[in-house]
Structure 1
Amino acid sequence: MRGINIGYVNKIQVKYNYVLIKININVSSILIPKNSLVETTQTGLLNDTVVDITPLQNISSQDIESTNVFAKSCVKSSFLCHYDYIRGERGLNYDDLVRAATRISQRFDDPVLFNLVNILLHNTIYISSEFVEFTNGIVDIAILIYDYLYQLLFSQI
């Protein structure tokens, strides 16, 4: 939870439409809000799977002091109680990353896309050189106007 190891996976049950994971929390004083994001994520080079629990609300110290996860009154609290469950989602994994990288590389391997990018770069270079010539022309005109106004003003004095 919040990047800290708070327990371990005790049991995994694979069902037709979902996977049920039983998690044991090491310390009973760790409270998990019912409004939390739960995701399975693959980490490390060996594809270790972890369960990420991210609370989505601020927790007040008054709620923490008055909550006992083993008491019957816990059901009314905003925290998960002993033997409660929460729905989670599948998080990021390396298989998705490899698929996405493959799709991107296949799109860049397309000769039509490569030719379009090549034409775009050539046009950009052409436009930038034309823009440089245009700004040089504006500078030349500004210098002529400055010289004309300078001569006109000082000829009056």
Structure 2
Amino acid sequence: MNKLRYKYFWINIQNIIVFFMFICFTIIVWTLTNYQIQNTGYSFFVEFHNAHGLKEGTYLRMRGVNIGYIKNINIDVNSVLILVHITSHSILIPKNSIIETNQTGLLNDAVIDIIPLEQVSIYDIKNIDIFSQKCIKSRIICHLNYLEGERGLNYDDLVRSATRISQRFDDPTFFNLFYLFLQNSIELSDNIVNVTFDLSNAITLFYNSLSHFLLDHI
């Protein structure tokens, strides 16, 4: 009987030790994961109507400095959802910002630009944790927030606009209208010059008459 109690006692002790080790392991894993996340940055979602040349690894810039990159792209029926990653949790982005796609360089590389629209006081964001629930009510973009992006400078649009303008100049109808407009402008300019010349002569005659009149009455 004593041996049986002794055996159950050690089984309970072993179960307690295993449970305690499991709790310790869970706490250690959670701490390391949280520490790794906070030291490798944070992420949030941006939705665009069109990818505009964006791809995984595309840089994310703010005030001309690279602060992150595109981590994942998911295409939907009506939009493109992009997961961007900021390389450091100490880089804070105001919610009141324009997020737009632009093309730069000779190869027209796409990039996402973040343009803040307001100045945020350092005292307002001094104790903000972007991973906490309190961050949602702040003026800073938090971890896993959802935002909408816009279309910025696109060289394809510039090329299409230049092509349309060149086609307009090649259109005979447009060229004839432009020629008539130019001819009428020239004729109008000549008429204005003639009117100005006649007005100058009239002023000269009036001045001479007024001079003679004053000389006669002195």
TM-score, with length taken from structure 1: 0.90
Bigger Rg, structure 1 or 2: 2
Distance between the aligned counterparts of 1:144 and 1:96, measured in 2?
Answer: 60
Query: Which letter does structure 2 place at the counterpart of 1:49?
Result: A
Per the alignment, in what secondary structure is the counterpart of residue 50 of structure 1?
Answer: strand
Q: Which runs of 4+ in 1 moved over 6 A?
A: none
1:101 matched to 2:162? The reply is yes
Q: Which runs of no fewer than 5 residues in structure 2 stay unpaired?
A: 1-61
2:96 aligns with 35
TM-superposed CA distance for 1:154, in Å, is: 0.9
Residue equivalent to 1:45: 106
CA distance in 2, matches of 1:35, 1:77: 11
Report Cα offsets for 1:127-157 as digits up to 9, x if no partner: 2122222211111121111111111111112
Offset at residue 47 of structure 1 (A): 2.3
Which residue of structure 2 aligns with residue 74 of structure 1? 135
Number of residue pairs the alignment of both structures matches? 157
C-alpha RMSD over aligned residues? 1.6
Structure 2 partner of 1:134: 195
**Counterpart of 1:24?**
85
* Percent of paired sites with the same residue: 52
SS in 2 for 1:49: strand
Map Cα deviations across residues 3-46 of structure 1 (whole Å, 9 max, x no partner): 22111112222222221212111221111122221112222222
**Deviation, structure 1 residue 58:** 2.5
Q: Secondary structure at the match of 2:63?
A: coil
* In structure 2, distance between residues paired with 1:34 and 1:139: 64
Q: Hey, what's the Cα distance between the residues in 1 that align with 2:211 and 2:95?
A: 78
SS at match of 1:54: strand
Cα offset, 1:69, TM superposition: 0.9
Q: Distance in 1 between matches of 2:130 and 2:208?
A: 86
Find 1:84's aligned residue among 145, 158, 168: 145
Q: Which runs of 5+ in 1 are unaligned?
A: none
For residue 113 of structure 1, the aligned residue among 157, 170, 174 is: 174
Alignment partner, residue 124 of structure 1: 185
CA shift for structure 1 position 118: 0.9
